[in-house]
C-alpha cells in the first residue's frame, strides 16, 4: 500500500517518474484523489517551500519538484474533475502580472472544469488589462486571479480597478487566492470572494454562476 509520505518524499527529490508511478498505484489501491493531492503532492510541495525559504534548496530543485507535482496532479485530473455536468458559466483564470507560479492556478482550473464551468486559462504573468479584455470579449461571469508572491498581490487590486474603469464591475465577479492572500486582503481590495483552496474556489464559482 503506497504511503502518502512516500509520494511527498519523491516529490521533494523532484522525481516525476516515481511520483507518477506512486500516484497511479495509490489510485489503483483505492486511495481517494483528494487525499493523494493533499497528503502526498501538496504536503511534499509544502516541505519544498520550507526548504527553499531556508536556503537548503534552490530554484532548479524547486522547478523539478514543481514538474513532479504537475505530472502527479495530471494523473488525478480525471478523478478530480469527474463530477462534470453541464457548463453553467464561463471563467477566465490567470496568475497575475509579475508572477510565474502556476501550480495552484492549474488546480483551481481543474476543479472549476470538474464543476462543469468553461475555463479560459490566461496562464501566468497576466496583466490586469488582459483579464478585463478577455472577460469582455468572452463574456465571462467570473475572473479568477492567483498570486503567490507578496509583491504581486497588489496586481489583484489593479484588476478590480481595471474592471471598474471598463464599466464591467457589476457584471463580473472577481475571485482571488494563492498562498499569501487572506480574506482580510480580499476584503480590503473589494474582491467578491477569497478561498484558501482550489475545491472551495470551484464551489464558490458555481454559486456565482447559478
User: Smallest distance from the beta carbon of 114 to ligand B1M, in angstroms?
Assistant: 13
CB of 20 to ligand B1M, least distance (A): 17
**What is the rounded end-to-end Cα distance, in angstroms, of the chain?**
41
CA atoms within 13 A on the CB side of 155: 27
> Please, which residue, 1 or 77, has the CB nearer to ligand B1M?
77
Which positions from 107 to 146 touch ligand B1M by CB under 6 A, shown as an x/- string? xx-----------------------------------xxx
Three-state SS at 147: coil
Of residues 26 through 55, those in contact with ligand B1M by CB under 6 A are 42, 45-46, 48-49, 52-53
CB-count burial class (<10 Å; 0-12, 13-18, 19+) for 25:
middle
CA within 13 Å, CB half, 162: 18
Residue 76 is a binding residue for ligand B1M (CB under 6 A): no
Q: Least separation, in Å, of the C-beta of 22 and ligand B1M?
A: 18
Applying CB under 6 A, which of residues 99, 121, 155, 157 lies at the interface with ligand B1M?
99
Residues 107, 45 contacting (CB under 8 angstroms): no
Among residues 8, 76, 103, 186, which is the contact residue for ligand B1M, using CB under 6 A?
103
Nearest to 46 by CA among 105, 103, 106, 111: 103
Cell of 177: 487566492
Number of residues that bind ligand B1M (CB under 6 A): 37
Binding of ligand B1M by 104 (CB under 6 A): yes
Amino acid at each position: 500500500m503506497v504511503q502518502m509520505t512516500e509520494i511527498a518524499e519523491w516529490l521533494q527529490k523532484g522525481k516525476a517518474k516515481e511520483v507518477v508511478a506512486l500516484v497511479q498505484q495509490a489510485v489503483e489501491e483505492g486511495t481517494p484523489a483528494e487525499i493523494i493531492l493533499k497528503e502526498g503532492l501538496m504536503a511534499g510541495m509544502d516541505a519544498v517551500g520550507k526548504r527553499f525559504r531556508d536556503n537548503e534548496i534552490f530554484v532548479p530543485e524547486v522547478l523539478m519538484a514543481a514538474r513532479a507535482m504537475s505530472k502527479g496532479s495530471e494523473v488525478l485530473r480525471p478523478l478530480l474533475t469527474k463530477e462534470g455536468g453541464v457548463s453553467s458559466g464561463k471563467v477566465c483564470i490567470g496568475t497575475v502580472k509579475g508572477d510565474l507560479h502556476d501550480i495552484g492556478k492549474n488546480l483551481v482550473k481543474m476543479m472549476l472544469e470538474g464543476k462543469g464551468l468553461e475555463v479560459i486559462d490566461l496562464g501566468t504573468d497576466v496583466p490586469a488589462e488582459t483579464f478585463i479584455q478577455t472577460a469582455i470579449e468572452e463574456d465571462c461571469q467570473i475572473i479568477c486571479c492567483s498570486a503567490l508572491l507578496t509583491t504581486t498581490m497588489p496586481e489583484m487590486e489593479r484588476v478590480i480597478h481595471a474592471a471598474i474603469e471598463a464599466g464591467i464591475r457589476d457584471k463580473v465577479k472577481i475571485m482571488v487566492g494563492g498562498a499569501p492572500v487572506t480574506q482580510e486582503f480580499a476584503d480590503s481590495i473589494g474582491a467578491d470572494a477569497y478561498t484558501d483552496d482550489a475545491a472551495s474556489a470551484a464551489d464558490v464559482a458555481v454559486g456565482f454562476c447559478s
